Amino acid sequence: MTAGLAERIQHVLRLAPQSGALEFQGHWHTWGELAVAMDRLESVLTDGGLGEGAAVGVVLRNRPGSMAAILQILASRRCVVPINPFQDPGKIARDLMSLKIAALLADPQDWDVAVIKDAAAAAGLLGVSITSVPRLEVSPVCGLDRFRGSNHEQLPGCCILMLTSGTTGEPKRVRLAYKSFERAMLTQASLERGSAEGAPRLKQSPTLLTGPLVHIGGTYHAVAAIVCARPLAILEKFNVADWHQMILRHRPKVTALPPTALRMVLDANIPRADLSSLRCITSGSAPLDPDMADAWQARYGFPILDVYGATEFAGAVAAWTLEDHQALWRSKRGSVGRALPNIELRSVDQSGTPVPAGNVGVLEVRSQQVGDGNWVRTTDLARIDGDGFLFIEGRADDAIIRGGFKVLPPDVEAVLRTHPDVQDVCVVGIPDARLGAIPVAAVQAKEGKNASLHEAELLAHARKHLVAYQVPVHIKVLADLPRTQALKVSKHEVRRLFVSVSPGAPA
């Protein structure tokens, strides 16, 4: 991150020190309190000998203390190493021993767990506690006088060693460059009225943080709010009742929810008047069902605007605008929108040759934000029509080659979702000794239908609408699909449901 963005953060903190910056559990922390906590954290890290490029682990709970930690690490050009708070404490302890971080910042709740505190001490880490309620307080826990630090990693130029969502396998870590993240943040600021670079104006309406900070979507929205001089209202973990109250309390014009959360809100049948402040909701992280988007607009009178991005891009690269949606949704239904400013998209074949408009290929992205202006290949299959609208057709590495026939999971999922008792679906491939791979499906039944919905009925439904090789070999009916903390379906957990399926299953 260049000095420009660091200065931007510091400038925002000084705009109105007595105004509310972070709301959590009904309590506001002011911009001045946030600045004091960040200064205190800087003193502790500096006293511990941690300079620019030092890798700093943060147990990223959706709490004000985590926001203070992220902002100060970024503003000082250190590197944020997110640690998932939702995993078993033993796994956190193993992470501390393997990550080569210099320090660990965590909530008192985490420091009270003996296995975590013992692991931090054994790894020679500088341990820092950041309290979120009732006040923002920063204090050393261990290691300030005996910090060894010889084994910690220096990551100059890397702002976040980001965790992927873990939907297709165990979460991986992706290095996000400071220059890429800075460009993403300043681009976001330039798109918001009154937030032009160098002249931020403090906003009154807060951004609602409902997704987990430990994933790129949560981090992106939270940091962008601060860069845009907008307060942040923090929901520790999404649930419909608390989200509903946040909407009533803050009356935002725009907010963001993933598709699963949208479905939960829709099923809760919240009164239309309660959401009347909203002009739209943006949605990303997972495919958005166009039927659900239409049902939402019919009930609440405003649209869901789909957004496409990935951890590697440090944010979104394509999205619907409100103007495009009003004019073109009917003809472009199912698209994730068009490329954002200064971003180019194309679909290519396996040799890297661009395919004609409207044809399916592997998506590539080019921008100054990512890859220094070179084309970056994704694992997503996509088609881009003549008007530049992007349609995601699944993942190239999710394609199931069944005895030489290609099965694309989204095609099968779309058919199973048309069954009236089906809420959600995940189709994956599992190895097969004879055919190479076979499709299997986990189905989430609608509320009250779990006991009455059976595999035979779903297979019969699939056979009516799919060719034989697309029909899943096995279907499991569940009350809920396994999900990550970002509410995305965990495909590798779905695969584990079928470990007992014997190889050589019939085609």
Q: What's the whole-number mean pLDDT along residues 73-86?
A: 94
Q: What's the whole-number mean pLDDT along residues 87-106?
A: 92
Does 143 or 496 have the greater pLDDT score?
A: 496
Does 411 or 502 have the greater pLDDT score?
A: 411
pLDDT at 428 over 90: yes
Burial 355-379 (b: 16+ CB within 10 A, else e): beeeebbbbbbbbebbbeeebbebe
Among 1-10, 122-131, 185-194, 289-298, whose mean pLDDT is lowest? 185-194
Here the tokens at position 215 are 């994933």
- pLDDT value for 469: 92
d(CA 389, CA 357): 10
To the nearest whole number, what is the mean pLDDT of the chain? 89
* Burial classification of residue 144, based on how many CB atoms lie within 10 Å of its CB (0-12 exposed, 13-18 middle, 19 or more buried): middle
Q: Which CATH code fits 319-397?
A: 2.30.38.10
Q: 64: part of which helix (H) or strand (E)?
A: helix 64-75
Task: Name residue 340's beta-bridge partners.
Answer: none
Q: Residue 505's pLDDT band (boundaries 50, 70, 90)?
A: very low
Q: What's the whole-number mean pLDDT along residues 92-97?
A: 92
Q: Residue 2's pLDDT band (boundaries 50, 70, 90)?
A: very low
d(CA 226, CA 12): 7
d(CA 401, CA 423): 27
363 near 375, Cβ under 8 Å? Answer: no
pLDDT at 246 over 80: yes
- pLDDT value for 1: 45
* Cβ atoms within 10 Å, residue 268: 12
Q: Which of 53, 33, 41 is nearest to 100 (CA)?
A: 53
pLDDT at 143 over 90: no
* Cβ atoms within 10 Å, residue 244: 16
282 near 305, Cβ under 8 Å? Answer: yes
Side-chain-side CA neighbours of residue 371 (13 Å)? 14
- pLDDT value for 282: 95
% of the chain at pLDDT higher than 70: 92
- pLDDT value for 142: 84
Question: φ, ψ for residue 37 (rounded to 5)?
Answer: -65, -40
- pLDDT value for 474: 95
505 near 438, Cβ under 8 Å? Answer: yes
33 near 23, Cβ under 8 Å? Answer: no
As a three-state string, the secondary structure of 148-186 is CCCCCCECCCEEEEEECCCCCCCCCEEEEEHHHHHHHHH
Q: Which residues contact 124 (CB under 8 A, 6 or more apart)?
A: 143, 146, 147, 148, 149, 150, 151
d(CA 108, CA 85): 12
% of the chain at pLDDT higher than 90: 65
As a three-state string, the secondary structure of 243-304 is HHHHHHHHCCCEEECCHHHHHHHHHHCCCHHHHCCCCEEEECCCCCCHHHHHHHHHHHCCCE
d(CA 134, CA 354): 56
- pLDDT value for 230: 94
Q: Choose the most confident range, by mean pLDDT, from 171-185, 300-314, 323-337, 371-385.
A: 323-337
Q: Which CATH code fits 238-302?
A: 3.40.50.980
Among 187-191, 360-364, 395-399, 467-471, whose mean pLDDT is lowest? 187-191
- pLDDT value for 183: 79
Does 176 or 278 have the greater pLDDT score?
A: 278
- pLDDT value for 195: 45
Q: Which of 451, 392, 444 is nearest to 419 (CA)?
A: 444
Does 132 or 187 have the greater pLDDT score?
A: 132
pLDDT at 249 over 90: yes
Which residue type, as a one-letter code, is found at position 441? A
395 near 381, Cβ under 8 Å? Answer: yes
The dihedral built from the CA positions of residue 227, 161, 146 and 52, taken in this order, carries a sign that is negative
Q: What's the whole-number mean pLDDT along residues 286-315?
A: 90
- In the chain, where are the structural domains located? 3-182, 238-302, 319-397, 399-496
Burial 465-477 (b: 16+ CB within 10 A, else e): ebeebbbbbbbbb
Distance, C-alpha 322 to centroid of its chain: 22
pLDDT at 506 over 60: no
Residues 390-414 have pLDDT tens digits of: 999 888 778 898 988 889 898 999 9
Sheet architecture: strand order including 343-348? 343-348, 361-367, 376-384, 390-395
Could you confirm whether domain 399-496 is CATH 3.30.300.30? yes
Name the 3-class secondary structure at 147. Answer: coil
pLDDT at 13 over 90: yes
- 3-182, what's its fold? Rossmann fold (3.40.50)
Q: Residue 167's pLDDT band (boundaries 50, 70, 90)?
A: low
pLDDT at 106 over 60: yes
pLDDT at 273 over 70: yes
Residues 345-358 have pLDDT tens digits of: 999 998 899 999 99
Q: Residue 305's pLDDT band (boundaries 50, 70, 90)?
A: very high
pLDDT at 165 over 90: no
CA–CA distances in Å: residue 226 to residues 31, 133, 196, 209: 10, 20, 13, 12
Same CATH fold, 399-496 and 238-302?
A: no
pLDDT at 372 over 70: no
- pLDDT value for 144: 63
CA–CA distances in Å: residue 167 to residues 170, 266, 478: 8, 24, 18
